[in-house]
């Protein structure tokens, strides 16, 4: 159940995708409305339930979202 992710970005709030599955495949169509904090070099999940691989298109879209700071 334990998984280590590298170069991970927590998806806190998104707009322009109906679900995380769509986000992983297509990215977001409204990056200016999304709230994604900075990327971390490594994170360990102790209760991994679901991991969705992202397409390159989605990765580029996620990386295009400005780092959200409160």
Residue with token string 């986000």: 23
Phi first, then psi, for residue 23 (nearest 5°) are: -60, -40
Residues linked to residue 4 through DSSP beta bridges, in sequence order:
44
Kindly report the pTM of this predicted structure.
0.83
- Give domain limits for the chain: 3-64
- pLDDT at residue 68 above 90? yes
pLDDT value of position 3: 94
- pLDDT at residue 70 above 90? no
Could you report the per-residue pLDDT of 20-61, keeping only the tens digit for each?
999 999 999 999 999 999 999 999 999 888 899 999 999 999
- pLDDT at residue 1 above 90? no
What does the alpha-carbon distance between residue 44 and residue 1 come to, in Å, rounded to a whole number?
10
């Amino acid at each position: 159940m334990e998984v280590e992710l590298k170069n991970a970005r927590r998806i806190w709030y998104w707009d322009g995708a109906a679900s995380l599955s769509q986000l992983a495949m297509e990215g977001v169509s409204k990056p200016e409305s999304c709230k994604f904090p900075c990327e971390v070099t490594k994170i360990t999940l102790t209760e991994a339930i679901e991991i969705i691989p992202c397409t390159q298109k989605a990765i580029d879209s996620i990386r295009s979202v400005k780092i959200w700071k409160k």
